[in-house]
Amino acid sequence: MEYRGYDSAGVAVLDGTIQVRKKAGKIANLDALLAQSPLPDTGTAIGHTRWATHGGPTDSNAHPHVSSDGRVALIHNGIIENFAALRAELQAQGIEFSSETDTEVAAQLLGVELAKGADLADGMRTVCRRLAGAFTLVAIDALQPGRLVAARRNSPLVVGVGDGENFVASDVAAFIEFTRSAIELGQDQLVDVTAESITVTDFFGGPAETHPFEVTWDTSAAEKGGYDWFMRKEIYEQPKAVADTLLGRYTPEGALTLDELRIPEAELRSVDKIIIVACGTAYYAGLVAKYAIEHWTRVPCEVEIASEFRYRDPIISPTTLVVTISQSGETADTLMAIRHAREQKAKVIAICNTNGATIPRESDAVIYTHAGPEIGVASTKGFLTQVAACYLLGLYLAQVRGAMFDDEIHNVMNELAATPPLIQEVLDRIGQIREVAARFVDTRSVLFLGRHVGYPVALEGALKLKELAYLHAEGFPAGELKHGPIALVEDQLPIFVVVPPQGRDQLHDKVVSNIQEVRARGALTIVLAEEGDVEVEPYADILFSLPKVSTLLQPLVATVPLQMFACELATLKGFDVDQPRNLAKSVTVE
């Protein structure tokens, strides 16, 4: 399970009592601890590799978590949205917590149920009915050896059906070397497992439909969830990654909240300039964010390439808010920019996907994206969740500064919450993208055009193609082509054009004119436009329809076909999509 990314790991075994060994850092640290302090060899055990969401990667925050009476050990994947209220309720009962995690709340709740005499499965069902958010939970009870229960909502859980032994896991990779017979659990289901029996119910104890299947993947493919590349797996994880990033962003009173954002509201109200600093794909997410943040907050927002930022002697003051975006949280160029900004007394907010990384640690506040580990060097779900997190920041600033009414904010949040299934709709059209990629497998150059938030999408599409297919690819503002670059256009040159939704301004019509300009010079136009946009049809050699979304949110759906195109083309060319030549996942040198 190591490939899934981890910042800590742990195991618990039941041998009369529950014994736990857990350690921050690489799994080798846990191995060393187990060598030093071995666990008994026994038939009931749970183990976990953590990708931190709530609470940094420390020994105490590592899973498994144990109820305060030592009876229950529990592990968890996902985000429990209502953990704060449940934690307060348990603390009011005198329960003492030993970690900062949302997970421990579930362990303590289950401990309370069992102490009241509940059976392990009934107790877990009671707990699951109280949790909001996304979770896969697995638990053992010291008084019920040889048995474990597991439950899932919006997070994967599979059962491995062995011979005289059974397994539960978030991923078949955990047990594929022992058995290929598996059962996929459905939404809001619980499984009660012993070495001889597997019983599946819903969260009320009623019967549940199960989906047995035979795992046909080998171990390596299993790590990729059956996909050929981690990148492709991560492209398909985007609906869930965006949904998870948006989870838990409301207070019980309905206000937008960013729980890690510990900058006083008065300071945020005094901000008179925002500077976004990042590299590569993260920089393009910042370019998208600029349009949204300026539109919602009316605060000037600059976007800077991190490696350029501190050398241009930027104008920074204590009322400047610097926002850094980084998937890895370790990019040296971005880190140096933060240090420069803080020396100039600016406040720094990090948008990051890696809990406890250097960049969030050196920032004043952080908004974590919850994309889960991104293994492919080319960033995909990292980008979409960065854009979603930037929208959250813009809306939050608008709320704090009174620049938007609550209902306006809720309208945008509701539209954001509705985007994951729209992203899935785009993913379901992979067949068309495969056909387009096959048509251009020998092309030597591709251009990408866009306007407004479509321009950073064009830049990101070009970067994906450079990184993966080693092709000359370039993104332009659609209106800029006629000022020189149009000289590049020749017969059959493929040009992707991101067309904005048909709306109140001339943005759409201007882009249609730009398409005509390049077609008149022989370009082959691949047009991405919203469903029903018949105006672009006469000028599109290939038309890829996008789900309808508002202008500012279009990057969440328009970027996906470009990611898929680059992935398909590189695959057809026989290149290593996950580890392209010359690149590294995290560039920790300046």
Nearest-angstrom CA–CA distance, 590 and 587: 8
Of residues 238 and 326, the one with the C-beta less far from ligand AGP: 326
DSSP-derived secondary structure letter, 473: E
Nearer to ligand AGP, 191 or 282 (CB): 282
Least distance in angstroms from the C-beta of 492 to ligand AGP: 28
Q: How far is the CB of 313 from ligand AGP (least distance, A)?
A: 23
Interface contacts to ligand AGP, rule CB under 6 A = 279-282, 326-328, 331, 334, 377-379, 467, 586-587
Q: 378 vs 437, which CB is nearer to ligand AGP? A: 378
Report the residue closest to ligand AGP, judged by CB.
Answer: 280
Least Cβ distance, residue 2 to ligand AGP (angstroms): 20
Please return the burial class of 264, using the count of CB atoms within 10 Å of its CB with bins 0-12, 13-18 and 19+.
exposed
β-sheet with 524-530: strand ranges across: 472-477, 445-450, 494-498, 524-530, 542-546
User: Would you say 297 or 331 has its CB closer to ligand AGP?
Assistant: 331
> For ligand AGP, which is the closer residue by CB, 244 or 578?
578
Report, in Å, the least distance between residue 140 CB and ligand AGP: 37
Strand 211-214 versus strand 181-184 pairing type? antiparallel
Cβ closest to ligand AGP, residue 84 vs residue 587: 587
Cβ distance 286 to 276 under 8 Å?
yes
Q: How far is the CB of 231 from ligand AGP (least distance, A)?
A: 9
DSSP H or E segment with residue 124: helix 120-130
**Least distance in angstroms from the C-beta of 584 to ligand AGP:** 8
Is the CB of 194 or the CB of 586 nearer to ligand AGP?
586
User: Least distance from C-beta 278 to ligand AGP, angstroms?
Assistant: 6
Residue 569 C-beta: closest distance to ligand AGP, Å: 15
d(CA 378, CA 232): 10
C-alpha–C-alpha distance, residues 56 and 54, integer Å? 7
In the complex with ligand AGP, which residue's Cβ is closer, 244 or 333? 333
Orientation of helix 83-92 relative to helix 103-115, angle to 10°: 40
Pairing between β-strand 65-66 and β-strand 147-153 as defined by DSSP bridges? unpaired
CB atoms within 10 A of CB 259: 12
User: Of 322 and 540, which has the nearer Cβ to ligand AGP?
Assistant: 322
3-state class percentages of the chain: helix first, strand second, coil last, to nearest 5 = 40, 25, 35
CB 4, min distance to ligand AGP, A: 18
Distance CA 249, CA 106 (A): 20
347-352 vs 365-368, strand pairing mode: parallel
Pairwise CA distance, residues 504 & 225, whole Å:
43
Q: Is 448 exposed, middle or buried (0-12, 13-18, 19+ CB in 10 A)?
A: buried
Q: Could you tell me the strand order of the sheet in which 45-50 lies?
A: 17-24, 8-15, 45-50
